[in-house]
């Protein structure tokens, strides 16, 4: 393909991670250097919504030191969205609007950072622009703590969340066994459909300070079986730690809060929707009769930049940087994926995955990595995940607390 | 006082912290060096319970490198307890037993690490031993994330919890405002009677990434007032973060779960005791109608050694070390406290506080440090807490995860 001169826009979509801004840093620093082809670099406010609303920032006006700090700043610095484009055949209003905005601002490079849905969005937009005869190179940058994107060995964001989960569980493990009395601890981990994050609890167990039982959404949940598991471990040691994915459900599709906490009502008569950790802890307290504690790792597992994996930060930056380099070289309609050598030590290699292949396909934890009982993870997962969590990201510190990036966010007129 | 030759024992009591083992390292390394007076150094399994059960470990047999790792290992390495000694006048069984064990093992130095109750225990034991004519030097080493011990400027453990709370809230703050839709986040922080930990959320606000509202147990809680506060902030920005101490209660003594979540019942008819964050989030969801999230910082806030304050680690070590040096020098019946210069930069100075003064007295957040509305913290607290959270503790890392101390725990016959 020939040289394409114009402006570039980058957007962040879906739930944030500890390293999504590292990808932003990769896109921005590389795009700002491509002065021969990319004239201006824009950041869309709240992803595709910012494009539709014609609200984006002029990244060229940002202080390079602040862009560098993006590498260690969690969450989505530009703002994110969960907006889903309609099927073009049914309603092409948004597509027309995007074409209009792109034309008006001479946007010839579109980089979008997100998960399955975002790759679908990229793909749809690219197809529309092509049909409309508007030349624009569209590249996806992967992002999801859930690690469930098709076609890539792993996803930026996953390893930092995994490192947070494993480290935190190791610390909680020590805390939860200080007394010489029985205790059951339920740790709820994110992951609605795929259990990669809950599986990461096994890294703590590998280090001798982890859960006794791990339940993933990949295996149908059986309340009776789980209770028997807990009772067995409790009888042996008096201490039980369960790592439970928020997405575990029974064979007929019932989530844990529906199984054991459904009918609770507060003082005002409002229905309470308890979290998995809380309701399971209450259930086990009644069944086992000992002290229990439900812990939800909540937003912390996806925003703990202070505990990010250096490998993850570097790879996330690389993904953004590579997307720009590819696009400038004439490549379009791919997501930047990763692969590792089939044998030998871990190395992160780039692999381009067609957007159409990624869109709306989920990658789950292989069933052969889960033990037969369906309550723990095998060594295969440890071998897979361990290289990804290596290295400690050094966040900037000011007065003993993080110094996160402060962007000027100069809105493009 | 003359030279007292004999064995030393150290015990850990109450809820653990990120740095209680740093004090253990201080006691152990110093006591092992006092070879002229201290013959053997023991660690009591589960605090005073280990003394009563005559179960303690021979610390002289531990690898010095592992004792060094105690500085960065959270929780209570020896195990803890919540055992309360009876009033001697009513029942002296435990006291007789302690005297018997101390005599049998020639224990002449007793170091106890804990909060109010533990200092009370120290005091009672010391009085009994003195009355019985058994010479033993008893020193208290302070410990509590709650920071509520009388007579000391601050308590080992508090600053690391404060640093964790402030850092985590800064990260959550960024995460909680990625979407262009309304959101209320309730963060529940430990502290049943004193609000020092919830106040630490103000450190995040000082850095521009903190809560809008902070509620402490020092101020009577008013549900209507809180709702009005939230509505006011929400109307202005569409995002509200509340930091709430688990101990806040109304003027007539009702805790939040009792106020808004009391009657909830699970699917099995069991009464559910929701946490403050969860029930308050549900309440605000109904009242405000936007997305809400309740986050409980749970055990993580007291065991996050990976995010400990270097100042806190060093001071905790110093407290243990000083207790031993004082006792060897003939001092007894004091807790090692801290003070800072009245003017000039922060410096940690040792201050000995009589055990009798510490026992069972609580130090709360001064009311003049809380704003008039009772929903935020003034600069006085920032000035107080900021020096304490300085410096990042460097934990040992092995394969990307913490390498915590592994003690042999050779039981004394």
Provide the pLDDT for residue B352.
98
Instruction: Provide the phi-psi class of B253: left if phi over 0, else alpha when psi is between -120 and 50, else beta.
Output: left
Provide the pLDDT for residue B256.
87
In 3D space, the residue among A101, A192, A141, A123 whose CA is nearest the CA of residue A13 turns out to be A141
In 3D space, the residue among B106, B104, B140 whose CA is nearest the CA of residue B37 turns out to be B106
Q: Is the pLDDT assigned to residue B304 strictly greater than 70?
A: yes
Cβ contact B300–A203 (<8 Å): no
* pLDDT mean across residues, chain B: 94
Residues of chain B found within 8 Å of residue A404, distances taken between Cβ atoms: 170, 174, 209
Please write down the HEC assignment for all residues of B186-223: EEEECCCCCCHHHHCHHHHHHCCCCCCEEECCCCCCCH
Residues of chain B found within 8 Å of residue A14, distances taken between Cβ atoms: none
CA dist A317 and A22 (Å) reads 5
Please tell me which of the candidates A79, A171, A401 has its beta carbon nearest to residue B170. Answer: A401
Q: Which residue stretches of chain A have pLDDT < 70?
A: 1, 261-274
CA dist B143 and B140 (Å) reads 9
Q: Is the pLDDT assigned to residue B312 strictly greater than 90?
A: yes
Cβ contact A172–B279 (<8 Å): no
Q: Is A223 on the interface with B (CB under 8 A)?
A: no
Grade residue B403 by pLDDT with cuts at 50, 70 and 90.
very high
Cβ contact A282–B264 (<8 Å): no
Cβ contact B174–A73 (<8 Å): yes
Q: Is the pLDDT assigned to residue B22 strictly greater than 50?
A: yes
Residues of chain A found within 8 Å of residue B170, distances taken between Cβ atoms: 401-402, 404
Grade residue B350 by pLDDT with cuts at 50, 70 and 90.
very high
Q: Is B386 on the interface with A (CB under 8 A)?
A: yes
Q: Is the pLDDT assigned to residue B397 strictly greater than 60?
A: yes
User: How many A×B Cβ pairs under 8 Å?
Assistant: 229
- pLDDT tens digits along B156-192: 999 999 999 999 999 999 999 999 899 999 999 999 8
Q: Is B86 on the interface with A (CB under 8 A)?
A: no
Provide the pLDDT for residue B36.
95
Provide the pLDDT for residue B250.
94
- pLDDT tens digits along B97-138: 999 999 999 999 999 999 988 999 999 999 999 999 999 999
Provide the pLDDT for residue A274.
61
In 3D space, the residue among A402, A186, A175, A400 whose CA is nearest the CA of residue B168 turns out to be A402
Q: Is B179 on the interface with A (CB under 8 A)?
A: yes
Provide the pLDDT for residue A257.
84
**Which spans in B289-344 are helix H?**
300-303, 310-328
Grade residue B82 by pLDDT with cuts at 50, 70 and 90.
confident
Interface probe with A: pick from B171, B223, B270, B287, most Cβ of A within 10 Å: B171
Please write down the HEC assignment for all residues of chain A: CCCCCEEEEEEECCCCCCCHHHHHHHHHHHHHHCCCCEEEEEEECCCHHHHHCCCEEEHHHCCHHHHHHHHHCCCCCCCCCCCCCCCCCCCCHHHHHHHHHHHHCCEEEEEEEECHHHHHHHHHHHHHHHHCCCCCEEEEEECCCCCCECCCCCCCCHHHHHHHHHHHHHHHHHHCCCCCCCEEEEEEECCCCCCHHHHCHHHHHHCCCCCCEEECCCCCCCHHHHHHHHHHHHHHHCEEEEEEECCCECCCCCEHHHHHCCCCECCCCCECCCCHHHHHHHHHHHHHCCEEEEEECCCHHHHCHHHCEHHHHHHHHHHHHHHHHHHHCCCCCEEEEEECCCCCCCCCEEEEEEHHHHCCCECCCCHHHECCCCCCECHHHHHHHHHHHCCECCCCEECCEECCCCCCCCECC
Q: Which residues of B are catalytic?
A: 146
Q: Is B385 on the interface with A (CB under 8 A)?
A: no
In 3D space, the residue among A226, A283, A281, A243 whose CA is nearest the CA of residue A260 turns out to be A283
Q: Is the pLDDT assigned to residue B360 strictly greater than 90?
A: no
Grade residue B263 by pLDDT with cuts at 50, 70 and 90.
very low
Q: Is the pLDDT assigned to residue B34 strictly greater than 50?
A: yes
Q: Is A207 on the interface with B (CB under 8 A)?
A: yes
Residues of chain B found within 8 Å of residue A345, distances taken between Cβ atoms: none
Out of A261-275, B34-48, B130-144, B366-380, which region has the weakest mean confidence (pLDDT)? A261-275
Grade residue B31 by pLDDT with cuts at 50, 70 and 90.
very high
Q: What is the mean pLDDT of residues B317-324?
A: 98
Grade residue B61 by pLDDT with cuts at 50, 70 and 90.
very high
* pLDDT mean across residues, chain A: 94
Out of A82-91, B109-118, B316-325, B332-341, which region has the weakest mean confidence (pLDDT)? A82-91
In 3D space, the residue among B140, B127, B205 whose CA is nearest the CA of residue B386 turns out to be B205
Q: Is A165 on the interface with B (CB under 8 A)?
A: no
Provide the pLDDT for residue A293.
94
B169 — phi, psi (to 5°)?
A: -65, -35
Q: Is the pLDDT assigned to residue B279 strictly greater than 90?
A: no
Grade residue B277 by pLDDT with cuts at 50, 70 and 90.
very high
- pLDDT tens digits along A27-60: 999 999 999 999 999 999 999 999 999 999 999 9
Q: Is B307 on the interface with A (CB under 8 A)?
A: yes
In 3D space, the residue among A88, A94, A121 whose CA is nearest the CA of residue A335 turns out to be A121
Q: Chain B: residue nearest A305 by CA?
A: B171
Grade residue B260 by pLDDT with cuts at 50, 70 and 90.
confident
Please tell me which of the candidates B174, B299, B307 has its beta carbon nearest to residue A74. Answer: B174
A10 — phi, psi (to 5°)?
A: -130, 135
């Amino acid at each position: 393909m020939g040289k394409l001169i114009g402006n570039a826009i980058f957007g962040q979509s879906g739930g944030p991670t500890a390293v999504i801004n590292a990808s932003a840093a990769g896109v921005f620093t590389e795009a700002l250097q491509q002065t021969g082809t990319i004239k201006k670099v824009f950041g869309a406010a709240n992803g595709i919504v910012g494009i539709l609303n014609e609200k984006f920032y002029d990244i060229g006006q940002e202080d390079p030191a602040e862009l560098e700090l993006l590498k260690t700043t969690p969450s989505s610095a530009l703002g994110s969205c969960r907006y889903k484009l309609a099927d073009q055949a049914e309603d092409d209003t948004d597509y027309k609007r995007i074409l209009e905005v792109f034309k008006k601002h001479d946007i010839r490079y579109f980089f979008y950072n997100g998960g399955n849905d975002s790759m679908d969005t990229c793909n749809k937009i690219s197809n529309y622009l092509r049909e409309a005869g508007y030349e624009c190179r569209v590249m996806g940058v992967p992002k999801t703590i859930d690690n469930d994107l098709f076609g890539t060995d792993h996803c930026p964001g996953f390893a930092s969340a995994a490192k947070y989960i494993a480290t935190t569980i190791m610390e909680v493990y020590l805390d939860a066994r200080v007394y010489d009395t029985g205790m059951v601890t339920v740790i709820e981990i994110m992951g609605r459909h795929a259990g990669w994050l809950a599986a990461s609890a096994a890294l703590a167990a590998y280090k001798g300070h982890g859960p006794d039982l791990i339940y993933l959404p990949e295996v149908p949940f059986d309340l009776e079986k789980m209770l028997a598991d807990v009772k067995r471990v409790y009888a042996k040691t008096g201490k039980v730690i369960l790592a439970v994915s928020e997405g575990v459900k029974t064979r007929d599709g019932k989530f844990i809060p529906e199984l054991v906490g459904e009918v609770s009502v507060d003082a005002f008569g409002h229905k309470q929707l308890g979290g998995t950790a809380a309701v399971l802890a209450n259930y086990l307290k009644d069944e086992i009769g000992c002290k229990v504690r439900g812990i939800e790792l909540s937003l912390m597992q996806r925003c703990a930049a202070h505990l990010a994996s250096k490998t993850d930060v570097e790879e996330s930056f690389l993904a953004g940087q590579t997307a720009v380099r590819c696009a400038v070289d004439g490549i379009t309609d791919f997501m930047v994926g990763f692969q590792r050598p089939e044998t030998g030590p871990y190395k992160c290699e780039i692999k381009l995955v067609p957007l159409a292949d990624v869109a709306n396909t989920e990658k789950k934890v292989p069933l052969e990595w889960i033990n037969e009982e369906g309550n723990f993870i095998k060594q295969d997962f440890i071998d897979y995940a361990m290289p990804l969590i290596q290295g400690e990201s050094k966040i900037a510190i000011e007065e003993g607390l993080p110094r996160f990036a402060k962007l000027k966010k100069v809105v493009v007129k």
